[in-house]
Amino acid sequence: MLRVSLLFFCTIVFGTSLFAQTKSDSIAKKAVKVVPSDDSVIDGKLFKSENKIEALVDSLNVKNLEDLPHVAELDKKWLEELYSNSLFDTIYKSVTELDYAPVDYPELPTDTLKARLAKLNARTPFNVEYNVSLESVIKSYLKHRRSSLERLMGLSHFYFPMFEQEFDKHDIPLEMKYLAIVESALKPRARSRVGATGLWQFMYGTGKEHNLNVSSYVDDRSDPIKSTTAAAEYLNRVYHIFNDWDLALAAYNSGPGNVNKAIRRSGGSKNYWNIRHNLPRETAGYVPAFLATMYIFEYAEEHGFKPERPPFQLIQTDTVHVKQMISLNHVSEATGINIEELQFLNPAYKLDILPKVEGKAYTLRLPREAIGTFVTNEDQIYAFANAEFNKREKPLPQFVSDDTKIKYRVRSGDYLGKIARKYGVRVSQLKQWNNLRGNDLSIGQRLTIYPKNYGASIASTPKKVVNTAGKQTYTVRAGDSLWSIAQKFSGVSVQNIKDWNDISSSKLKIGMTLIVSK
């Protein structure tokens, strides 16, 4: 469907540049919705009016040739599903040019691979059959991409449970979860050069068809659960056209029309491996990439992979419906959760803001231990957020004297949250001032910053203060949180308390003494 964000998969697994030399030429597809009266259907094919004369001439030359009736029926069924070209994007050059040359990897003998693929084939509806091309891709990944795959395996511990839950609801093979690895490298904000977005790479129009709404604040295509539901719905649609999961996977990649052409050119065969040579080269590489990923994940332990764990497991998080407009920065201040962790858990909010819209419900995902803090102090948190939003009417940075801004050069180890805390600003402000769409930074990149309390000693990292002599202190009581304590003292933030007391966690013990002043 959506096809590939192999751009992102290739960036991680193949090691190619995100934008350089990754894209093959687009495959032109015409969307068919309603056939206008001046268009023609000739020999079961739709021709636009401007090509009608040429089509008629062609039809006279081949009028005695017949289509395969059962394949034509597949076309008809798909047209009834309102086939949309926006379901498909272009495949990327890296997969188009997969190198199937033999790979020397003695740690995986061919006989062992054959036996494992046979076991995998027995427990999945996909045709996981051994062939030398698949062996080459698997061994290439094992030999050259171990660290990248371990990072993906770590992320999978968070995302795969939600994929499996949605796929189980829609009777989708659970192994289809590996498709998100190929599509987006498990980046919920992944965006291809043509605009396909999210874990499952939906185009804007296709997302709307599947109730994935996009606004200035929210992009449902980046919502892991909503987008997975939409992907399951689409996969079910193509499966009921072909009644074969291999072909559904191929259709997701290159479109039902191209799959039907390959079936015709193969004399009516409907086994993926029998029609593979007639599929677009992109799909011929895409499916082996999917199967190789499946094999490596299923046999990760046997190959000695040690996944890098994400900061949270899905089961360690919970959700709450917000009642008023609030930003992730406000939530971070209130709960002590780092903004980067909140962005990881809530990727659908484009500006890190959860809006309040009549008739719509917006969900905030938090670590379980922070849910209690948020709900218990809900009214105070919303009041704090409202007060902060009311402060937004300020002179725009471009109308402020250059004397009040600084240019910051990004260093190794920097990230937006770290820089924002250093200068007393918000991540959303850094993004706005520097026209940043994502969170990625490059070493040496220059950022414009309008820091708070300009002129104070902000050029260096704040020193940790652990000596309480001469400092105002506070003794932690039952029910206290860093946020509630910060609210008791004017001009003090959660991060201030952490820095002054040399603590990184938000957990407090009753009776502990905290420094609460500079």
Catalogue the active-site residues.
183
What's the burial of 398, exposed, middle or buried (CB within 10 Å: 0-12/13-18/19+)? Answer: exposed
Q: How many CB atoms lie within 10 A of CB 352?
A: 21
190: nearest Cα among 178, 202, 198: 198
Q: Please choose, from the candidates 314, 332, 341, 313, the residue with its C-alpha nearest in 3D space to the C-alpha of residue 374.
A: 332
CA-to-CA distance for 142 and 122, rounded, in angstroms? 23
- Asked if residues 173 and 167 have their Cβ atoms less than 8 Å apart, the reply is yes
Say if CB 443 and CB 475 are below 8 A apart.
no
How many residues belong to the chain?
A: 518
Strands 326-327 and 513-515: unpaired
Contact 378, 323 (CB under 8 A): yes
The amino acid at residue 424 is G
Burial of 66-104, coded b for 16+ CB within 10 Å and e otherwise, reads: eeeeebbebbeebeeeebbbbbbbbbbbbbbebebeebe
d(CA 262, CA 249) in angstroms, rounded, equals 14
- The token duo for 22 is 């990754």
Q: Which residues pair with 42 in a beta bridge?
A: 45
Amino acid at the residue 404? T
**Bridge partners for 92 per DSSP:** 23
C-alpha distances in Å from residue 6, one per residue of 11, 95, 373: 8, 8, 40
Can you tell me the distance from the alpha carbon of 185 to that of 5, in angstroms, rounded to the nearest whole number? 8
Alpha helices in 217-280 (DSSP H): 224-242, 245-254, 256-265, 272-275
CA distance 359 to 363: 13
Which residues lie across from 327 on neighbouring strands? 353
